[in-house]
Amino acid sequence: MNTISMEEEKKIFNFLKSQGCCLRCCLRFIGYRMSDCYSNPLEFAARMNYIDDKDDSSKTPCIACLGILQDKTQENVITKVVEEVKKKDYDCATFICALTVPVSIKLREHILYAYVSKETGTHESITSALRTKLQNVKDTWKSFMISKLEQAMEKHADLSTPSPFLIEIFLSYGDDEIIFQELINKHKGSNKQTKRKCNDNIFSRKNLETLLSEITDEQFIDYFKISQIISKTFVHVNDVLCSHSSIFIGGRYNKFSRELSQTPWFINGEKKVETSVQDLLCNSIAETVKAECTFYSIKFLSSGREDVDVRNVYSGRPFAVELLNPRMTNITSDLLTHLAASINQSTKQVQITSGLKVLSRLDLKKLKEGENAKTKFYRALCVCEGVNGSLPQLENLNKLKNIKIVQRTPVRVLHRRPLSPRTRVIYEMRARWAKPHELKKLHTAAESVDVFFVLDVKTQAGTYVKEFVHGDFGRTKPSLSDFLNVDVDIIALDVTGINLKWP
């Protein structure tokens, strides 16, 4: 026997209403799920002959939902949501909504169902069937509140995509912990396992679920009288939080300074360089789209990185910036063009070499994969001492192809990289003597320019080029020093090309 008649529905409905349930909760408890019955519960209940059509809903807080499904709280919620969205100036045309409700809602539902069976004489099988049909408060709230929020904010609720703009509404109830504590105190004395389970956080939803699975209807009636859970106050709108999922903007950059780190450089909390590539690029982008703009909130992604003293020239290094919680999301190509020009005008140390672009997750995957799959091009200014301008074996470098080298972690990065050898490929090299104009800015006491040469090299991604040149005390084998059979050092290094289609 689990089929409920209209008379039984009406009896349960009126019992719940007499105990202080709002009309929407009365409909929830007898299994209604259609959104139209919750849009205008007074009209629907009158049409179903549950109440007289002149009957007005109670102005006191509902004993079941604490006012969450009542008009007074809804007006409060709408006002605070609209205020928050306008204050933060989010321009996203769509939204999704999340609702957090007091823990005791579930407890109240169990208590009321226990009393429904006792006070109305409803068969246990019918009560059990109604419990399975009960729509939770959150889903009921969304069924009629989403349309009201859409109208108030002039935004569209997008649940299918879903929208990247999330509005979180936190509702709290002052006596929540008192009611839950009373249940704990009455039940834990007879159940040592419950006491252990509730030790960590006695007010958690998880612990409540554990208790509810152990307690019978008879125990609920023994522990609580309905009068004990009557609410004197409505739930409080504790907070409204708005957030937009990250967006990514990327392009390519050149770095022309040999005194600029790629990311902010701190040692023991002290900033070692005044600014960085990340600061010069990302701060302007984050400010433009009104994203969070702090050291910890900006995430700078790039296809590899250059050292502080290494330039990046010609086509530039692919990069992307993750923008957390942006409030401007309608980003046009004109805006990006203006933004790139503005950044280039503001600094000579870093320049954007390609048009900026809003990126997809697939684009980011390509950037990440390119770290290991791409080839890279470098130009190194090298010096050989004590060769008196004669180094016939230099020309032999141009004949070498696809050389495999083994590099142990360089001494200069041992403090932040694991100690592990790796094999890399030098695809080809081109060497020539340095020209006078290439040495003008060098601060060196060398009398002869003939000891300097320029090496253009094409390598596998992840090759330590500096160490390939000088050998790093034998940690790179073979090295340029090995091929030339003389000591070689590197004076300056440029990244001249990163073979990755981007953006």
Do residue 364 and residue 382 come from a single domain? no
What's the confidence (pLDDT) of residue 207? 81
Long-range interactions of 392-399: CB distance < 8 A, separation 24+ = 393/483, 393/484, 393/485, 394/431, 394/433, 394/453, 394/484, 395/431, 396/483, 397/429, 397/430, 397/431, 397/455, 397/480, 397/483, 397/484, 398/429, 398/430, 398/431
Written as one letter, the residue type at 140 is T
**Model pLDDT for residues 420-430, shown as the tens digit of each residue:** 899 999 999 99
Lowest mean pLDDT among 3-12, 457-466, 475-484: 3-12
Do residue 88 and residue 208 come from a single domain? yes
Please, are residues 278 and 262 in contact by the beta-carbon 8 Å criterion? yes
Lowest mean pLDDT among 69-83, 92-106, 234-248, 403-417: 403-417
**Model pLDDT for residues 305-343, shown as the tens digit of each residue:** 999 999 999 999 999 999 999 999 999 999 999 999 999
Do residue 134 and residue 195 come from a single domain? yes
Entry pTM? 0.84
Percent of the chain whose predicted confidence (pLDDT) is above 90 = 64
> Which CATH number do you get for residue 326?
3.30.70.2510
Do residue 449 and residue 473 come from a single domain? yes
**Model pLDDT for residues 65-102, shown as the tens digit of each residue:** 999 999 999 999 999 999 999 999 999 999 999 999 99
Do residue 84 and residue 164 come from a single domain? yes
> Which CATH number do you get for residue 385?
3.30.70.3190
Q: Environment class of residue 354 by beta-carbon count within 10 Å: exposed (0-12), middle (13-18) or buried (19+)? A: middle
Do residue 171 and residue 259 come from a single domain? no
Residue 20 lies in a domain: no
Do residue 379 and residue 362 come from a single domain? no
Structural domain including 273 reads: 248-372
Q: Environment class of residue 332 by beta-carbon count within 10 Å: exposed (0-12), middle (13-18) or buried (19+)? A: exposed
Percent of the chain whose predicted confidence (pLDDT) is above 70 = 93
Residue 51 lies in a domain: no
Cross-strand pairs, 455: 380, 431
Structure tokens at 422: 């790796």
Residue 45 lies in a domain: no
* Residue 372 clears pLDDT 90, i.e. is over it: no
> In the chain, how many domains are there?
3
Do residue 230 and residue 344 come from a single domain? no
SS (H, E, C) 37-101: HHHCHHHHHHHCCCCCCCCCCCCCCCCCCCCCCCHHHHHHHHHHHHHHHHHHCCCCCEEEEEEEC
Could you confirm whether 472 is annotated as catalytic?
no
Residue 278 lies in a domain: yes
What's the confidence (pLDDT) of residue 267? 79
Mark which of 183, 216, 243 sits at the end of a domain: 243
Mean pLDDT of 377-383: 96
Do residue 149 and residue 69 come from a single domain? yes
Do residue 390 and residue 446 come from a single domain? yes
What's the confidence (pLDDT) of residue 194? 46
* Residue 200 clears pLDDT 50, i.e. is over it: no
Backbone angles phi, psi at 15, to 5 degrees: -65, -50
Do residue 98 and residue 223 come from a single domain? yes
Tally Cβ neighbours within 10 Å of residue 77. Answer: 23
What's the confidence (pLDDT) of residue 294? 80
Residue 481 lies in a domain: yes
Do residue 381 and residue 363 come from a single domain? no
Distance CA 152, CA 75 (A): 11
Residue 40 lies in a domain: no
* Residue 495 clears pLDDT 70, i.e. is over it: yes
What's the chain's average pLDDT?
Answer: 89
* Residue 443 clears pLDDT 80, i.e. is over it: no
Contacts of 496 (CB under 8 A, 6+ apart): 313, 314, 377, 378, 379, 456
Our CA angle for 480, 310, 341, nearest 5°, is: 145
Residue 484 lies in a domain: yes
What's the confidence (pLDDT) of residue 190? 57
What's the confidence (pLDDT) of residue 389? 66
What's the confidence (pLDDT) of residue 106? 93
Residue 414 lies in a domain: yes
Mean pLDDT of 286-300: 88
Q: Environment class of residue 275 by beta-carbon count within 10 Å: exposed (0-12), middle (13-18) or buried (19+)? A: middle
Mark which of 209, 227, 243 sits at the end of a domain: 243
Contacts of 181 (CB under 8 A, 6+ apart): 202, 203
Mark which of 348, 372, 396 sits at the end of a domain: 372
Tally Cβ neighbours within 10 Å of residue 239. Answer: 13
Please, are residues 250 and 367 in contact by the beta-carbon 8 Å criterion? yes
> Would you place residue 198 in the very low, low, confident or very high pLDDT band (cuts 50, 70, 90)?
very low
* Residue 348 clears pLDDT 60, i.e. is over it: yes
User: Which of 307, 363, 482, 489 does the annotation list as catalytic?
Assistant: 307
* Residue 195 clears pLDDT 70, i.e. is over it: no
Mean pLDDT of 204-221: 86
Our CA angle for 184, 188, 191, nearest 5°, is: 145
* Residue 368 clears pLDDT 60, i.e. is over it: yes
Distance CA 483, CA 377 (A): 20
